[in-house]
């Protein structure tokens, strides 16, 4: 009988271990689903670039000022002093 009890204890331990692993899998799936939901809300990089370009209409005064600044200031200076440009 002692041998049977040991086997039953091992079975119970493994069942507990399986339940814990299944819980971790459910948590991981929920995490992945949340990341996918967030990714859907964010614009794709190409769309974001197009949207930024669409804000400055060619021929507008802000567009002209932006273009003049980009031409006048070297790239290295822009990135150091004004990372938004």
| Low-confidence residues of the chain: pLDDT under 50 | none
φ/ψ of residue 83, rounded to 5: -65, -15
Q: What pLDDT is recorded for position 53?
A: 59
CA–CA gap between residue 54 and residue 28 (Å, rounded)? 39
CA–CA gap between residue 17 and residue 9 (Å, rounded)? 12
Q: What pLDDT is recorded for position 50?
A: 64
Q: What pLDDT is recorded for position 79?
A: 59
Q: What pLDDT is recorded for position 46?
A: 67
């Amino acid at each position: 009988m002692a041998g049977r009890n040991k086997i039953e204890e091992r079975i119970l331990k493994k069942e507990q271990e399986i339940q814990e692993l299944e819980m971790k899998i459910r948590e991981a799936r929920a995490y992945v689903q949340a990341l996918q939901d967030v990714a859907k809300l964010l614009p794709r990089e190409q769309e974001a670039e197009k949207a930024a370009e669409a804000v400055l209409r060619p021929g507008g005064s802000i567009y002209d000022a932006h273009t003049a600044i980009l031409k006048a200031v070297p790239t290295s200076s822009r990135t150091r002093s004004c990372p938004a440009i």
